[in-house]
Amino acid sequence: MHFPLWETLPLGYFRLSVCVKLHSEQTVEGQALLIVAPRKCYLPSFPKRAWGISLQLYGIRSHKNWGIGDFRDLGAVMKVAGTRWGVATIGVNPLHIPAAGLTSPYSPSSRLFWNPLYLNLEGVDEWRTSAGLRRKAKSAKFQQTLKQLRESPRVDYEAVGKLKWTV
């Protein structure tokens, strides 16, 4: 069978359903996902030679993160790298949730969900609108834990996760 659909369909995702009646009055049905994509990918107008950097987000330290690099830190690096250094691309380690009990940032168990440890919780709307959250974050115990995580020479994934999950 021949279906010249790509000539008339716009770009996008479609569900293709086929029902064929056989000689013996039996019908065969099937479905498939049909993806209509452009013939070539978008190419930005970069200079002839573009360059980039690679970084491990978990290893970025700042006075604002909670002992692990977060998306606020990544945004700051992107801004500096792009405007000051002319960087065209930045490669990062996998940012997905690792399997339970596995702290390796190179072994994501799902590509569907980002690891919440990389969230900049202070940039989330609920942080700004919840007096209770801000009060909890200002407590002596919370601030002491945060200070320890920021000053630790290594990322303590378990402690960072525990602190972030409390809010």
Does the residue 43 lie in any domain?
no
pLDDT in tens, 108-147: 566 677 888 999 999 999 998 999 999 999 999 999 999 9
Instruction: Mark whether 78 and 160 lie in a shared domain.
Output: yes
How far apart are the C-alpha atoms of 160 and 70, rounded to whole Å?
11
Considering the domain boundaries, does residue 107 fall inside one?
A: yes
Question: Is 40 buried (19+), middle (13-18) or exposed (0-12) by CB count in 10 A?
Answer: exposed
Same domain, 103 and 144: yes
DSSP for residue 138: T
Beta bridge partners of 20: 28
Helix (H) or strand (E) holding 164, with range, is: helix 157-166
Mention every residue, 6+ apart, whose C-beta is less than 8 A from residue 82. 88
State the residue range of the domain holding 67: 52-166
Q: What is the pTM of this model?
A: 0.68
8 Å CB contact between 130 and 121: no
Residue 155 within a domain: yes
Whether residue 104 has pLDDT greater than 90: no
Residues 22, 93, single domain; the answer is no
Residues 82 and 120 in one domain: yes
Query: 90 φ, ψ to 5°?
Result: -130, 125
> Do 27 and 92 sit in the same domain of this protein?
no
Q: How many domains does the chain have?
A: 2
Phi and psi for 21 in degrees, rounded to 5?
Answer: -95, 125
- Quick one: pLDDT at residue 94? 83
| Confidence tier at 22 by pLDDT (50, 70, 90) | confident
Which two three-digit tokens encode residue 82?
């792009």
Q: Is the pLDDT assigned to residue 25 strictly greater than 90?
A: no
Query: Collapsing DSSP states into helix, strand and coil, what is residue 39?
Result: coil
